[in-house]
Structure 1
Amino acid sequence: MASRYQIANALERYGLNPNQASCASEFLRGHLSTRQVDRLARAADDYRSDRPLNFGDLVRVAASVRDTDTFIQVGAAAVACKVVADMPLPI
């Protein structure tokens, strides 16, 4: 399993604020393997954006790795961290 520090550092590097990164890492620790976190990090590296990632971007990145569990866990982290209300709905 990936450590919460590994997850939090990666999330902050991609633009989440420290509080969001800490909350998400606490939730995702034990839910994602190191391999899943690595795949998510690689996908975030490839994500094209002119601004830091937000949680909505992170959910889109998680969907792009084509691993249902990663997508579900990142979405659940958004709910658990109470940032889902800040995410735009797809139209």
Structure 2
Amino acid sequence: MAALMLGAATSGCVNPSARIAGALEGYGFQPDQSQCVGDRLEANLSIGQLQQLGRAARAAREGDTTPGRLTASDFIRVAGQVKDPKVPIEVAKAAAGCGIITGTPPAL
């Protein structure tokens, strides 16, 4: 489901930041943190990169036994599956910068 919402973040003319934030809130992230991550990802990733992230998230969620739950670790792990090296870096930076995870993002 998160993957579906992340994938929808890049479709149509709707603000990707708002869609990403809505998806993350639906999975238990705080609204201010979700909006922060959405804003950062929209600012630092292209629509194509966001679409890749959405596709990776969809693939990762297939067969998941807890489809209604998405952790920060899940989000970062999924980003690491994207072939574009900028995507996991920006996801980790956004998660750390927005207080979803603590510490500095790993060097990828």
TM-score range, shorter-chain basis?
Answer: 0.7 to 0.9
Question: How far does residue 33 in structure 1 lie from its aligned partner after superposition?
Answer: 0.7
Q: Which has the larger radius of gyration?
A: 2
Q: Distance in 1 between matches of 2:94 and 2:78?
A: 14
Give the TM-score of the pair, scaled to structure 2: 0.65
Q: Distance in 1 between matches of 2:86 and 2:74?
A: 17
State the partner residue of 1:72: 89
Q: Which runs of 5+ in 2 are unaligned?
A: 1-9, 103-108
SS in 1 for 2:99: coil
Aligned length: 85
Percent of aligned pairs sharing the same letter: 33
**Over aligned residues, Cα RMSD in angstroms?**
2.4
Instruction: Say whether the 8 Å CA contact 1:62–1:74 is kept in structure 2.
Output: yes
Q: Which runs of 5+ in 1 are unaligned?
A: 86-91
Letter of the 2:70 partner, please give it. L
Residue 60 of structure 2 is aligned with which of 28, 44, 47? 47
Question: How far does residue 7 in structure 1 lie from its aligned partner after superposition?
Answer: 2.7
State the partner residue of 1:63: 80
Alpha carbons of structure 1 residues 36 and 30: separation in structure 2 relative to 1, 3 Å: same
Give the TM-score of the pair, scaled to structure 1: 0.75
Alpha carbons of structure 1 residues 16 and 73: separation in structure 2 relative to 1, 3 Å: farther
SS in 2 for 1:65: coil
Question: How far does residue 10 in structure 1 lie from its aligned partner after superposition?
Answer: 4.3
